[in-house]
Each structure stands twice: as structure tokens, then as C-alpha cells.
Structure 1
Amino acid sequence: MSLVKFHQPAFPSLVNRFFNDDFFQSYNQVAGKNEFHNLPAVNVKESEGNFQLELAAPGLKKEDFKVSVHENRLVISVKKESQNEEKAEKYSRKEFSYSSFQRAFVLPKTVDGEKIEASYTDGILYLTLPKKEEAKAQPREISIA
């Protein structure tokens, strides 16, 4: 007999469905020992006209990022290398580090991949993914004759 019971809610929340369905399915990788022990957190917001992704990655420069779209897949990656060399009269010390990560998302069919924009401010990479015009269509009222 088990003392642990698992409870499955009768109606899964919309948030769980949003992140567990194929919608914005994510494929991730991380490497290196210094800055990126875990993958950076990503927030996904939806508005009427677009999706907004916010990726927390402090300590980087915008030049460290590579963002691309290929076959309806958005890929965000970082490769960062650094070297420190210290020379003194009797010794020399050289340290280097390498770290990287990659996050990939399958884009919904409603996103216009040709118009994605990105900016990096205060440690956060912002991506705006505009929706296609047909996805923005407003419901119209039908008169009854």
C-alpha cells in the first residue's frame, strides 16, 4: 500500500496547456562551467498583435547572442570565451573559460518569422514575434435576418 497519492486536476489550466503542448515547444542545451550552470529563464507573453519572449542572461553583450529562424524554429544561442593573463616577475598565470547555451522554440503557425525583432537591455534579451494578419482577425458580428 502506498502512502503517496497523486492528484490530477480535472481541468488542466490554460497555462499548463500553453507550455506543455507543441506550442512554443522548447529544445535546450547548456555547456561550460562558469556563467551558465542552468539555462536562462524565459518568459513568454501574448498580446493581441504579438508574442514577447524575455530571456534573462545578465553579464553578456548583445554581440554574444546569435538569434536565427529556420524552418519555423527560433534558435537563441550564446558562446562566450574569456581569457585572463597575469604576468609578474617570477610567475605567469593564464586562465580561460568557455561557456555556451542554446534555446530553441518551435514557432506557432500564427507567428510571422520574417518580422521578428530583438533587443538586449539590462541583462534581458527581448524578442518580439509579430502575429500574422490572419491571426489578428477580430470576430465580426453577424446580423440575424
Structure 2
Amino acid sequence: MLYPVLKDMNNWLDNDFDDMLNTSWMPRMNVTAPAINVKENDKAYEVELAAPGTTKDDFKVNVDKDGCLTIKMEHKDEHKDENKKEHYLRREFSYSNYEQALTLPDDVEKDKIEAKVTDGVLHITLPRTQKAEKETKKIEVA
């Protein structure tokens, strides 16, 4: 029976590339993409994008003629201190930039799409058409 090699308590599986390309001395960037959920019900599709600390001004939501929904988010968070008596040796700020494109289903009413930001979550409602089942077109075989 084979057992994993225990190098430390946090790494059960040995990876030769970790040894060869050890980058633990390099600073790691804290980069993540916002979490996105897509739900559906009989009346609409709903998209939720988690982006804490954002406001409605940070987002641009567009839908093109081909039915592609594009979500763009740009957020700058600068900590400014009005007290000029102090000299900063280190000052931190963050900048987030995100873009996601989703192809919409054919049954979305593009003219009635709504978007709002609540508590750092972008909510996009994509209403569905109430049309009957799509008609089937018979194709004659020659």
C-alpha cells in the first residue's frame, strides 16, 4: 500500500515541482476573482457577484446585440490621511479590476434587465420571456 509523504503538517502530497521551483521567498500577491452565482427560476435568471466594499459606481454592466452580458468592475480604495504632520514609511492602497462575460440564453428579455448593488453584492436580474415553447421548424430533406 502506498502512503503520501508527509513533508509538513499542511502538505500531505509530495510534489517534485515544489522542491524544484520553490518560491516561498517571494512575496505572494493576494489576487482573487469575485465569486459569482447564477440562479434560475420560472420568471428570471439571477446573477450575483460578490465584491465587498464596492458601490454602484464601481460597476458597468452592458448587454450587446448578440446577447453577451459584460460585467466590468473597477474599485480603487485609497487610504488618505489629512494629517500632514505625519510622514508615512508605508502606505497601502488597493486596486481591483475585473471583467466577466456571460452568454445569455435566448429567452432573456434584454430590454428589462436590472442591476443593483446591495451590501457589496451586485445583483443582476434577467427576466425570462413568457412566450410559449419555441416553435419547431420542419426542415424538408431533399
Task: Specify the TM-score bucket, using the shorter chain as the normaliser.
Answer: 0.5 to 0.7
Alpha-carbon distance between aligned partners in 2 of 1:121 and 1:89, rounded to the nearest angstrom: 37
> Which runs of 5 or more structure 1 residues have no equivalent in the other structure?
1-32, 139-145
1:85/1:92 contact within 8 Å kept: no
Structure 2 residue 94 is the aligned partner of structure 1 residue 91: no
Identity %: 41
Where 2:57 maps in the other structure, the secondary structure is: helix
TM-score if structure 2 supplies the norm length?
Answer: 0.61
2:129 corresponds to: 132
Alpha-carbon distance between aligned partners in 2 of 1:89 and 1:115, rounded to the nearest angstrom: 53
Give the direction of change, closer, same or farther, for the CA distance of 1:95–1:110 in structure 2 (3 Å limit): same
Q: Deviations over 1:110-138 (max 9, x none)?
A: 1111110011111211111011232xx37
User: Where does 1:1-145 land on structure 2 (aligned, <5 Å)?
Assistant: 37-70=31-64, 71-86=66-81, 88-89=84-85, 91=87, 95-134=92-131, 137=132
Richer in strand (by share): 1
> Which runs of 5 or more structure 2 residues have no equivalent in the other structure?
1-28, 134-142
Q: Give the count of matched residue pairs.
A: 102
CA-based RMSD of the aligned residues comes to 2.3
Alpha-carbon distance between aligned partners in 2 of 1:57 and 1:69, rounded to the nearest angstrom: 20
**Larger RCO, structures 1/2 (Cα 8 Å, 6+ apart):** 1
1:65/1:79 contact within 8 Å kept: yes
